[in-house]
Chain A
Amino acid sequence: MDLSTNYLGLKLRTPLVVSASPLSEDVDNIKRLSDAGAAAIVLYSLFEEQLRQDRLELNEHLQNGTDSFAEALSYFPEPDEFRLGPEEYLKHIAAAKKAVNIPIIASLNASSNGGWTSYAKQIQQAGADALELNIYYIPTSLELTGTEVELTYLDILKAVKAEVTIPIAVKLSPFFSSFANMAKRLDQAGANGLVLFNRFYQPDIDLETLEVKPDILLSTPMAMRLPLRWIALLHGRINASLAATSGIHRASDVLKMLMAGADVTMLCSTLLRHGIPKITAIERDLIIWMKEHDYKSVRQLKGSISQENCAEPAAFERAQYMKAICSQMNAIV
Chain B
Amino acid sequence: MKKPLVFKTIDGCEAAAYVAFRLNEAMAIYPITPSSPIAEWCDQWASEGKKNIWDTQPAIIEMQSEGGAVGAVHGMLQTGSISTTFTASQGLLLMIPNMFKFAGELLPTVFHVTARTVATHALSIFGDHSDIMACRSTGWGMLGAASVQETMDFALISQAASMRSRLPFIHFFDGFRTSHEVSKIELLDESVLRTLIDKKIIAEIRARAMSPDKPVLRGTAQNPDAFFQGREAANNFYSACPDIVQKVMDEFAELTGRKYNLFDYVGAPDAERVIMLMGSGCETAHETVEHLAAKGEKMGVLKVRLYRPFDGRRFVAALPKTVKKIAVLDRTKEPGATGEPLYQDVVTALMEETAASRSHLMSLPQVFTGRYGLSSKEFTPAMVKAVFDNLSVVPKNHFTVGITDDVSNTSLKYDPEFSTEPKNVVRALFYGLGADGTVGANKNSIKIIGEETDNYAQGYFVYDSKKSGSMTVSHLRFGPQPIRSTYLVSSANFIACHLPGFLDRYEMLRALVPGGTFLLNTPHSKDDVWSKLPTPVQKSLLAKKAKFFVIDATKVARDSGMGGRINTIMQVCFFALSGVLPKDEAIDAIKKSIKKTYGKKGDEVVKMNLQAVDNTLAHLHEVPVLDNKLNGSGPFLPPISPEAPEFVRDVLGTIAAGFGDDLPVSAFPLDGSFPTGTSQYEKRNLALDIPVWDEKTCIQCLKCVAICPHATIRAKVYDVAELKNAPATFKVTDARVPEFKGLKFSLQVAAEDCTGCALCVDVCPAKNKTEAKLKAINMRPQVPLRSAEHDNWNYFLTLPEFDRRKIKTTTLRQQQILQPLFEFSGACAGCGETPYIKMLTQLFGDRAVIANATGCSSIYGGNLPTTPYTKNKCGRGPTWCNSLFEDNAEFGLGFRVSIDKQKEFAEELVKKISNEIGDELAIGILTADQNDEAGIYDQRERVVALKLKLQKLDSPEAKLLVPLADQLVKKSVWILGGDGWAYDIGYGGLDHVLASGRKVNVLVMDTEVYSNTGGQMSKSTPRGAIAKFAAGGKSAGKKDLGLIAMSYGNIYVASVAMGAKDEHTLKAFVEAESFPGPSLIIAYSHCIAHGIAVDMGVGARQQKLAVESGQWLLYRYDPRRAERGENPLQIDSSAAKSKVKDFMMTENRFKMLTKSKPDDAKKFFGQAQADADRRWKFYQFMAARDTKVENAPFTASKQPTAVDA
Contact A75 B1089 (CB under 8 A): yes
| Residue B1014 lies at the interface, judged by CB distance under 8 Å to chain A | yes
| Residue A143 lies at the interface, judged by CB distance under 8 Å to chain B | no
Within 8 A of A (CB), among B996-1022: 1011-1015
> A-B pairs with the 7 shortest C-beta distances?
A68-B434, A55-B602, A67-B439, A72-B1014, A61-B1148, A77-B1031, A75-B1015
- Alpha-carbon distance A134/B43, docked complex (angstroms): 43
Stretch at the interface among A12-20, A81-89, A249-257, A282-290: A81-89
Q: Name the residue of chain B whose CB is nearest to the CB of A211.
A: B772
Q: A68-B472, A77-B47, A82-B1155 are in contact. Are A59 and B598 (CB under 8 A)?
A: yes
Contact B1026 A76 (CB under 8 A): yes
Within 8 A of A (CB), among B931-955: none
The residues of A that contact B1013 with a CB separation of less than 8 Å are 71-72
Q: Name the residue of chain B whose CB is nearest to the CB of A53.
A: B604
| Residue B1152 lies at the interface, judged by CB distance under 8 Å to chain A | yes
| Residue B1156 lies at the interface, judged by CB distance under 8 Å to chain A | yes
- Write the B1023-1057 contact mask toward A (1 if CB under 8 angstroms, else 0): 00011100100000000000000000000000000
- Alpha-carbon distance A59/B463, docked complex (angstroms): 23
> Can you list 15 pairs linking A and B with CB atoms under 8 Å apart?
A54-B1151, A59-B601, A62-B1091, A63-B440, A64-B1088, A64-B1094, A68-B434, A71-B36, A71-B125, A71-B1013, A73-B439, A79-B44, A79-B48, A82-B1155, A84-B600
The residues of B that contact A144 with a CB separation of less than 8 Å are none
Q: A67-B434, A67-B440 are in contact. Are A75 and B600 (CB under 8 A)?
A: no
The residues of B that contact A56 with a CB separation of less than 8 Å are 602, 604-605
- Alpha-carbon distance A73/B1089, docked complex (angstroms): 11
- Write the B449-465 contact mask toward A (1 if CB under 8 angstroms, else 0): 00000000000010101
Residue in A69, A79, A84, A211 whose beta carbon sits within 8 Å of that of B1031 in the complex: A79
Q: Name the residue of chain A whose CB is nearest to the CB of B1091.
A: A61
Residue in A57, A72, A209, A210 whose beta carbon sits within 8 Å of that of B1148 in the complex: A57
Q: Give 4 new A-B contacts, CB below 8 A, not counting A69-B465, A75-B1088.
A: A56-B604, A57-B1148, A65-B1088, A78-B44
Q: State the Cβ distance, B360 to closest chain A Cβ, in Å.
A: 46
Residue in B438, B467, B601 whose beta carbon sits within 8 Å of that of A58 in the complex: B601
| Residue B892 lies at the interface, judged by CB distance under 8 Å to chain A | no
Contact A76 B1015 (CB under 8 A): yes
Within 8 A of B (CB), among A190-231: 209-211
| Residue A66 lies at the interface, judged by CB distance under 8 Å to chain B | yes
Contact B1152 A69 (CB under 8 A): no
The residues of A that contact B1156 with a CB separation of less than 8 Å are 79, 81-83
- Write the A103-129 contact mask toward B (1 if CB under 8 angstroms, else 0): 000000000000000000000000000
**Interface bracket on B:** 35 or more
The residues of A that contact B563 with a CB separation of less than 8 Å are 60
The residues of A that contact B438 with a CB separation of less than 8 Å are 67
Q: Which residues of A contact B (CB under 8 A)?
A: 51-52, 54-85, 88, 209-211
The residues of A that contact B461 with a CB separation of less than 8 Å are 67
Contact A77 B1026 (CB under 8 A): yes
The residues of B that contact A69 with a CB separation of less than 8 Å are 434, 463, 465-467, 470
Contact B47 A64 (CB under 8 A): no
- Alpha-carbon distance A73/B472, docked complex (angstroms): 11
- Alpha-carbon distance A127/B582, docked complex (angstroms): 50
The residues of A that contact B44 with a CB separation of less than 8 Å are 77-79
| Residue B1158 lies at the interface, judged by CB distance under 8 Å to chain A | yes
Contact B48 A68 (CB under 8 A): no
The residues of B that contact A62 with a CB separation of less than 8 Å are 601, 1091, 1148, 1152
Contact A64 B1152 (CB under 8 A): no
Contact A83 B435 (CB under 8 A): no
Q: Name the residue of chain A whose CB is nearest to the CB of B768.
A: A210
Q: Name the residue of chain B whose CB is nearest to the CB of A84.
A: B602
The residues of A that contact B43 with a CB separation of less than 8 Å are 77
Residue in B467, B604, B1014, B1093 whose beta carbon sits within 8 Å of that of A73 in the complex: B1014
Contact B1155 A58 (CB under 8 A): yes
- Write the B141-162 contact mask toward A (1 if CB under 8 angstroms, else 0): 0000000000000000000000
The residues of A that contact B466 with a CB separation of less than 8 Å are 69
The residues of A that contact B1095 with a CB separation of less than 8 Å are 64-65
Q: State the Cβ distance, B1093 to closest chain A Cβ, in Å.
A: 7
Contact B602 A63 (CB under 8 A): no
Q: Which residues of B contact A (CB under 8 A)?
A: 33-34, 36-37, 40, 43-44, 47-48, 125, 176, 180, 433-435, 437-440, 443, 461, 463, 465-467, 470, 472, 563, 565, 598, 600-605, 767, 772, 828, 859, 1011-1015, 1026-1028, 1031, 1088-1089, 1091-1095, 1148-1149, 1151-1152, 1155-1156, 1158
The residues of B that contact A72 with a CB separation of less than 8 Å are 1011-1015, 1089
- Alpha-carbon distance A211/B176, docked complex (angstroms): 50
Q: A62-B1148, A72-B1011 are in contact. Are A83 and B434 (CB under 8 A)?
A: no
The residues of A that contact B467 with a CB separation of less than 8 Å are 68-69
Q: State the Cβ distance, B14 to closest chain A Cβ, in Å.
A: 12
The residues of A that contact B47 with a CB separation of less than 8 Å are 77, 79
Q: A58-B1152, A76-B1015 are in contact. Are A67 and B472 (CB under 8 A)?
A: yes
Residue in B125, B565, B1093 whose beta carbon sits within 8 Å of that of A70 in the complex: B125
- Alpha-carbon distance A70/B176, docked complex (angstroms): 9
- Alpha-carbon distance A68/B1152, docked complex (angstroms): 22
- Alpha-carbon distance A100/B385, docked complex (angstroms): 81
Contact A75 B437 (CB under 8 A): no
Q: State the Cβ distance, B865 to closest chain A Cβ, in Å.
A: 15
Contact A52 B440 (CB under 8 A): no
The residues of B that contact A63 with a CB separation of less than 8 Å are 437, 440, 565
Q: A52-B604, A67-B461 are in contact. Are A76 and B1028 (CB under 8 A)?
A: yes
Q: A58-B1148, A72-B1015, A76-B1028 are in contact. Are A65 and B601 (CB under 8 A)?
A: no
The residues of B that contact A210 with a CB separation of less than 8 Å are 767, 772
Q: State the Cβ distance, A51 to closest chain B Cβ, in Å.
A: 8
Q: State the Cβ distance, B882 to closest chain A Cβ, in Å.
A: 15
Contact B772 A82 (CB under 8 A): no
- Alpha-carbon distance A22/B433, docked complex (angstroms): 44
Contact B463 A70 (CB under 8 A): yes
Contact A83 B37 (CB under 8 A): no
Q: State the Cβ distance, A212 to closest chain B Cβ, in Å.
A: 9
- Alpha-carbon distance A315/B180, docked complex (angstroms): 80
The residues of A that contact B767 with a CB separation of less than 8 Å are 209-210
The residues of A that contact B859 with a CB separation of less than 8 Å are 71
The residues of A that contact B435 with a CB separation of less than 8 Å are 64-65, 68
- Alpha-carbon distance A76/B1089, docked complex (angstroms): 7
- Alpha-carbon distance A61/B1148, docked complex (angstroms): 7
Q: State the Cβ distance, A252 to closest chain B Cβ, in Å.
A: 35
- Alpha-carbon distance A141/B990, docked complex (angstroms): 61
- Alpha-carbon distance A66/B567, docked complex (angstroms): 12
- Alpha-carbon distance A190/B461, docked complex (angstroms): 60
The residues of B that contact A79 with a CB separation of less than 8 Å are 44, 47-48, 1031, 1156
Q: Name the residue of chain B whose CB is nearest to the CB of A66.
A: B440
The residues of A that contact B601 with a CB separation of less than 8 Å are 55, 58-59, 62, 82, 84
Residue in B34, B437, B1028, B1155 whose beta carbon sits within 8 Å of that of A84 in the complex: B1155
User: Of B34, B772, B1093, B1148, which is in contact with the most chain A CB atoms at under 10 Å from its CB?
Assistant: B1148
Contact B1093 A64 (CB under 8 A): yes
- Alpha-carbon distance A68/B1014, docked complex (angstroms): 11
The residues of B that contact A78 with a CB separation of less than 8 Å are 44
Contact A54 B176 (CB under 8 A): no
The residues of B that contact A60 with a CB separation of less than 8 Å are 563, 1093
Q: Name the residue of chain B whose CB is nearest to the CB of A51.
A: B602
Contact B440 A77 (CB under 8 A): no
The residues of B that contact A67 with a CB separation of less than 8 Å are 434, 437-440, 443, 461, 463, 472
Q: Name the residue of chain B whose CB is nearest to the CB of A73.
A: B1014
The residues of A that contact B600 with a CB separation of less than 8 Å are 80-82, 84
Contact B605 A55 (CB under 8 A): yes
Q: State the Cβ distance, B178 to closest chain A Cβ, in Å.
A: 14
Q: State the Cβ distance, A126 to closest chain B Cβ, in Å.
A: 16
Q: State the Cβ distance, A97 to closest chain B Cβ, in Å.
A: 19
The residues of A that contact B37 with a CB separation of less than 8 Å are 73
